[in-house]
Structure 1
Amino acid sequence: MKKIMVLLAMLLVLSTFAAARQTVVTSANEMKIDLLRYDPSPVQPGDTTDIWFELINLKDQAVNDFAVTLVEDYPFMVVSDKVVTFSSLDKGGKLQVKFQVEVNKNALAGSYNVNIQYNSRTAGTITSSPFIVSVQKLGSLVSASVDVTPAQGDAQRIAPGSAADVAVSVKNPYDSVMKDVTVKLDLSSSSMPFAPVGMTTEQKIKQINPGDEGRVSYKLVATPDATAGVYKIPLTIKYYDETGTLYNISDVVGVMVGAEPKISVTLDSTELTTKNKMGKVVLKVVNYGTEDVKFARIKLAEGDDFELLSTPESYIGNIDSDDYETAEFRLKAGSGTFMLPVALEYMDSNNKQYSAEENVEVVLYSPGELGIKSGSTWLYVLALVIAVAGYFGYKKFRKSRQKQ
């Protein structure tokens, strides 16, 4: 079983984040303040993040001339305007306010308080109850490993038309529990040649304790017409921490499609006979597998029964599936029948290197044996020519007699 390690760096791959909504109501029941989200998330030491709040007017009339201040407290330092002022908010009206903060680079992982100070002409200055913002150190990475076990063929890849078991492991490097973990493969793209067998693409893990690893399995089949190559399957991992905060981690896992090439070498033609021991030999290299071959080279080794008169190596290049290419050599034969030791080197579509050795038999026929075959052919051709000439000659003779 071949393990392909895929590192999912949360700093680079986090998508839309949804925080557990936190609500505070000012003491005068004038304004409801919700912590909506912080983005990017999770908040990390040394990074800058935007914290979004929503204000809702709870009074039966408009609130005029009010201000909202984010109270600066460790480990957060406000780098945007600390105070945001508004001229008016109608009854039941809503508005959003954003503060940009920088997290102290030496902050430890944990939950920290964030306070909002609200000031209006009617309510005066009120400091809210604290909101909770989680800070996580991502020195460790959430990692996923993919084990591909095809039902047949090479364990490093899935052959077109074959099924495979794909296992995804998720490790929890944090100090808190990962809850309700959802792992989903996105196979919706028309360019993705995979389909799940007997299951959905979404699998769940109830809980992953700190330092532990969770695992989900998929059975995938590659379409019969799948082109060989590495396919990047989008992967999404969602989980909740102990505070109920939802995290989304997105990345890709690479799964390889391909099969081992099938190559054979045969004798295509030869000029050698028992009388003419020096001449050309043409070898045919046939690709009878489903995998295309590239950068193919063929090389002849020295033998006791022949002498190589040309260069021993020939570059063939690419050989498509169900196709062939030829290579030509000049030899001097020593006996009636001998073997050509042939060495092949080539790559598949995924740049995996292959080599093979074969022995190709070369039989030298006598001129008499070859002459019987070629002479019979010429006799048939000569008879046909005489017959055609006789037919047209006869017609010409009859026309001349009729004119007389």
Structure 2
Amino acid sequence: MKIKNMFSIKRVGIILLVVILLALGAAGAKQGPMVTADLLKYEPSPVEPGDIMEVYISVTNEGTTSETFAIEFVPEFPFSLGPGEDEMKTLAALPQGENAVVKFWVQVDPKAPSEDRDIKFNYRYSSSPTWIQLQSPVAIRTTGAILNIDKYKTIPKTVKPGDLVDVELNLRNSGNLDVKTVDVTLDLGEIPFSPIGSGDTKRIQFIRANNAEKVNFALIADTSAEIKVHSIPVTLTYRDSRGTEYTEETSFSLIMGAEPELMAVVDSTTISSKGNPGTITIKVINKGIMDLKYLNMRLISTNNYDVLSASNEAYIGNLDSDDFETVDFIIKPKNKDVQLKAIVDFKDPYNKEYQRQFLLPLRVFTARELGKGGFNWFGALVVLVILGALGYWYYRKRKKRRIKKQKE
């Protein structure tokens, strides 16, 4: 029994010794330098051919001593150092357990293929006998051809119904590949415009990468075109230098409008003489092709008349094309011939503000001038002539009857 217990004690002792030795070995392994470097990130990601990217290298000292660290970029297609960038970068001292980040500016060759390529660096630290290579994949992606209308202009800028308009579209190839056989088609099916002198499709043979070309269309607006902003759909079909076909949908806008044509006249008045108050009715007429809105009229007092209405302003509201509204004011004229001063503020359909001033002649007639006062000699003469004619007719008729009785 004692012998058996002795063997058990020895076995436990051996196991403890092994554990202690393993722990000491692990601790010894961590003693001294142990520096690693990894690709942390790169921006942009993915990167395009011709771009310059920022490459971040993470450096970590997992050892127990402070180390001096150096890393150098390995130029290899399609990667090269960016302008003014240093090929090698160093850290004077990297304490144990610390982490640092080193950044490089790296240029991607414009002819780089659209695929993943390894970027390479060599690094070492003061206790390392040789250089250690770091390599990591970088995603390079070619966006291909990107064609769009980056700007356009129309002459005239604002189009009236029935107008001719010249449209110039500027097509820019924002991609990294040349494009060819570019067909530009206007979809005018539901739009009140028609092409003049050519069809609705124009072709540009070739547009280089990062370049632009212009195309022109001559259009005429329908006479019944609605006053608003018309969006013109455009279809772009083309091929890039690799033979890939593209179809893009875009659009531009044409502004339909005109200069407002507003007119005001004195429609009627109850004023019979100067110095006596009366009502005037002013008619406001929209002679233009655009509907107008938020009309407000002000009648300004002058030396020729006073405005006696409770307010010298009257809100008219909206006024459609080829329509009119009337506004009444009470005034007291001081002279026989009066010129009314009216101001109208309003907006067009695009909320552009306008103001029009009108000078409206108003003549105050006397009763005599209207034929309502004094003796009317002309009227009396007419009455006398009529009465004379009737008397003569009656006399002739009586005379004929008398002669007829005498004969009987």
Instruction: Name the TM-score class by shorter chain.
Output: 0.5 to 0.7
Contact 1:108 1:135 in 2 (8 A): no
Q: Structure 1 residues 243, 111: closer, same or farther in 2, change over 3 A?
A: farther
- Cα distance in 2 between the residues matched to 1:276 and 1:262: 35
CA deviation string 1:192-220 (max 9, x = no partner):
11111121111111122233221111111
CA contact (8 A) 1:169 1:213 kept: yes
* Structure-2 residue corresponding to 1:135: 142
Shift of residue 247 of structure 1?
A: 2.0
Give the corresponding residue for 1:220.
219
Q: Larger relative contact order (C-alpha < 8 A, sep ≥ 6)?
A: 1
Give the Cα–Cα distance (whole angstroms) in 1 for the partners of residues 244 and 265 of structure 2.
66
Distance (Å, rounded) in 2 between the aligned partners of 1:137 and 1:285: 60
2:319 and 2:339 mapped to 1: Cα distance? 24
Q: CA deviation at 1:134?
A: 6.1
The aligned residue for residue 342 of structure 1 is 342
Q: Which residue type is aligned with residue 145 of structure 1? A: K
Which amino acid is the alignment partner of residue 245 of structure 1? T
Residue 361 (structure 1) aligns with: 361
2:153 is aligned with 1:147:
yes
Q: Distance in 2 between matches of 1:294 and 1:148?
A: 27
Would you say the 8 A contact 1:291–1:321 is kept in 2? yes
Q: How far apart are 1:368 and its partner, in Å? A: 2.6
Q: Offset of 1:273 from its aligned partner? A: 2.5
Matches within 5 A, 1:74-113: 111-113=113-115
Could you say which residue in structure 2 is the equivalent of 1:32? none
CA shift, 1:175, in A, is: 3.1
Aligned position for 1:160: 161
Offset, 1:45: 6.5
Give the superposition deviation at 1:343. 1.4
Note the residue ranges of structure 1 that are not aligned, 5 or more in a row: 1-43, 47-106, 115-132, 150-154, 384-404
Give the counterpart letter for 2:150 in structure 1. A
Compute the displacement of 1:290 (Å): 2.2
2:339 maps to amino acid: M
Larger Rg: 2
Residue identity matched to 2:254: V
**1:223 positional shift:** 0.8
In 1, Cα distance between equivalents of 2:295 and 2:186:
36
Name the amino acid aligned to 1:174. G
Q: Distance in 1 between matches of 2:220 and 2:202?
A: 17
- Decide whether the 8 Å contact of 1:266 with 1:360 is kept in 2: yes
Cα deviation for residue 358 of structure 1 reads: 1.7
- Show the counterpart of 2:185: 184
Q: Report the Cα offset of residue 276 of structure 1.
A: 5.3
Spell out, residue by residue over 1:88-111, the C-alpha distance to the aligned partner (whole angstroms, 9 max, x if none).
xxxxxxxxxxxxxxxxxxx99964
Give the structure 1 partner of residue 242 of structure 2. 243
Question: Higher helix proportion, which one?
Answer: 2
Q: What amino acid maps onto 2:303 in structure 1? A: D
Q: Which runs of 5+ in 2 are unaligned?
A: 1-43, 47-107, 117-139, 384-408
Q: How does 1:205-284 map to 2 (within 5 A)?
A: 205-275=204-274, 277-284=276-283
Amino acid in structure 2 at the alignment position of 1:144: D
The separation in 1 between residues aligned to 2:194 and 2:45, in whole angstroms, is: 41
Per-residue CA deviation, residues 243-292 of structure 1 (Å, 9 max, x unaligned), is: 12122221221111222221111111112232552121111111122222
Secondary structure of 1:135's counterpart equals coil
- Whole-angstrom distance in 2 between the partners of 1:365 and 1:146: 60
Secondary structure, aligned partner of 2:335: coil
- Matched with 2:76 is none
Number of aligned residue pairs:
249
Q: 1:170 and 1:209 mapped to 2: Cα distance?
A: 11
Query: Structure 1 residues 141, 195: CA separation in 2 closer, same or farther (over 3 Å shift)?
Result: closer
TM-score, normalising length: structure 2? 0.55
Cα distance, 1:277–1:212 mapped onto 2, change above 3 Å: farther
2:333 is matched with 333
Q: What amino acid is aligned across from residue 331 of structure 1 in structure 2? A: I
Give the structure 1 partner of residue 14 of structure 2.
none
> What CA deviation, in whole Å up to 9, does each residue of 1:111-158 have, x standing for no partner?
4259xxxxxxxxxxxxxxxxxx963299x9843322111xxxxx3321
SS in 2 for 1:368: coil
Partner SS for 1:358: strand
Q: Deviations over 1:324-357 (max 9, x none)?
A: 1111111121111121122122222333322221
RMSD value over aligned CA atoms?
A: 3.2
Letter matched to residue 154 of structure 2: V
Normalising by the residue count of structure 1, what TM-score does the alignment of the two structures yield? 0.55
* Distance in 2 of aligned mates of 1:315 and 1:137: 59
Q: Is the Cα–Cα contact under 8 Å of residues 307 and 331 in structure 2 kept in the other structure?
A: yes
